[in-house]
Amino acid sequence: MIDLLIKNGLVKDPSGACDAAAPVAVAKGRIVPYEEGAEARTVIDAKDCIVAPGLIDFHAHIFERGTDSGIDPDLAMLPLGVTTVVDAGSSGVSTYRSFLDRLSQCRIKTKLFLHVSPTGQVTHQYPESVVPEKWNYERFDEAFEKNGDRILGFKIRISRNVFGDNGLHYLEKALELAEKYRRSLVVHVTDPPAPQSQVAAMLRAGDVFCHVYHGRGHTILENGRIPQAIWDARKRGVLFDCCHGSINFNFDVAQEALREGFPPDIISSDMNSVTWNRAPLFNLPMVLSKFLLMGMSLDDVLARVTAIPARLIGEEGELGTLKTGSVADIAIFKLRSGRITFVDAEGNKREGNQYLHPVASILDGTIVYRDQEICF
C-alpha cells in the first residue's frame, strides 16, 4: 500500500528522472517506484496537468513580524507549488536567531543568507547600516558553527540608494567576509555605482549576481549588448539570478539577454510584503510564465526553480527532483491557454497566451494545497 498516487499527469523533472506521462508514487514522505495495480490511500488524477518537483524560490523575504518586508512563507509559497524558500538577507548576525525561531513554526523548508548588516534589511524607512570596521566576527563564527546547515552565505545591496557612489568599496569588504567563511555572496546590483561589467569582474565562483535583468542605471547591457566581462563571470562560475521583485525586472533587458543566449541560472521571485499578490510580480509562477512568453522552454524554466537551486543549497538528490528515494515535494500545474497581460517594473506591458496555474502542492508526501478543479 502506497500513501499517494499521482496518475495521468505529464511528469517534468529537470533532474532527469522523467519527462513523460507517468505515475508518481509516494510512501512515507518519499518518492517510491510504482508497481502496476498497487493500491493507494489517496489518488490524484492529474489529467491535463504538469507534475514537477516542488519549486525552490531562491530569493524571498520571509521574516514575518521581524521586518517590514517579511511575509508568511507557508501562506505565500505553498499554494503556489513552492515547497522550499531561501530568505535573502532579511536578518543579520544580531537578528537571525529570532528569525530561525520564527521559521521553526513553519512547514515549508527554509534556508537563508545573512545580511552583512548585523540587523539585516529590517525596514523600508531607511537603508541598512553596513560598517565593516565594527563587524563582530565572534557572532559570525557562532552563526556558522551552530547553524551552518541553514545559513548559505551573505547578502549585500550595492545600489546607490544604499551606499551612494561607494558601493564597490562595501562590495569588496563583503567579498572579503564571504571569503573568510568560504561562503557565497548574493549581490543586489540594481542601480549600481559602476558598470555591471566592473561588478561582475569582482565576483567569485558561486557568488550570485542578483536582479540580472533590471533596467535602472547601469544594466548588464553596455552599448546594447552583454559585455565580455559578464560572459567571463558566468564562465568562471558566477550565478545570475532573475530575482524579479518590484523594481528589478525589465522586459527589454531580459529579451535582449535571451536573444544573445544569456538566460538566468536561477529564476526567483523576491517575494515580500510589497510584491506579494501585486503587480508587476504577483508570484513565482507568474515570473516563470514571463520567461515562457520570452521563448524559454518549459523544461529550461523548471530547471531554474528545481534542480539548479537544489544543487546550490546543498540538497541535490533530495529536493528539486522526483527520483526514487527523494523527498516527496511535488508541484502540480496546468499550463493554461488564454490572453494574459504581463507587466515589468517600468510598467511596460506584453500580451501572452499561456501561463502556469498551480493546482496542488505536496510537501513531504502530504497534500498541503489543492485547487477545487483537480480531481482526487
Domain limits, CATH 2.30.40.10, in the chain: 2-52+324-338+353-370
Question: Residue 243, by phi and psi: left (phi above 0), alpha (psi -120 to 50) or beta?
Answer: left
Q: Which three cell numbers stand for residue 294?
A: 520570452
Question: Could you say which DSSP state residue 80 is in?
Answer: G
Q: How far apart are CA 83 and CA 207, in angstroms?
A: 24
Write down the pLDDT at residue 214.
Answer: 98
Write down the pLDDT at residue 375.
Answer: 60
- Sheet with 109-115: strands ordered across: 55-60, 82-88, 109-115, 151-157, 184-188, 208-210, 239-241
Percent helix, strand, coil in the chain, to 5, is 25, 30, 45
Domain 55-312 superfamily per CATH: Metal-dependent hydrolases (3.20.20.140)
Domain limits, CATH 3.20.20.140, in the chain: 55-312
Write down the pLDDT at residue 374.
Answer: 74
Q: How far apart are CA 185 and CA 205, in angstroms?
A: 10
Phi and psi at residue 21, to the nearest 5°: -70, 120
Q: How far apart are CA 233 and CA 201, in angstroms?
A: 6
Q: How far apart are CA 91 and CA 100, in angstroms?
A: 10
With a cut of 70, list the residues of the chain below it in pLDDT.
Answer: 375-376
DSSP of 163-226: HTT-HHHHHHHHHHHHHHTT-EEEEE-SS-SS-HHHHHHH--TT-EEESTT--SSS-S-BTTB-
Write down the pLDDT at residue 38.
Answer: 86
Class (C level, CATH) for 2-52+324-338+353-370: mainly beta
Confidence (pTM) = 0.97
> 88 with 117: CB under 8 angstroms?
no
Write down the pLDDT at residue 12.
Answer: 97
Residues comprising the chain, all counted: 376
pLDDT (tens digit per residue) in 8-20: 999 999 998 778 8
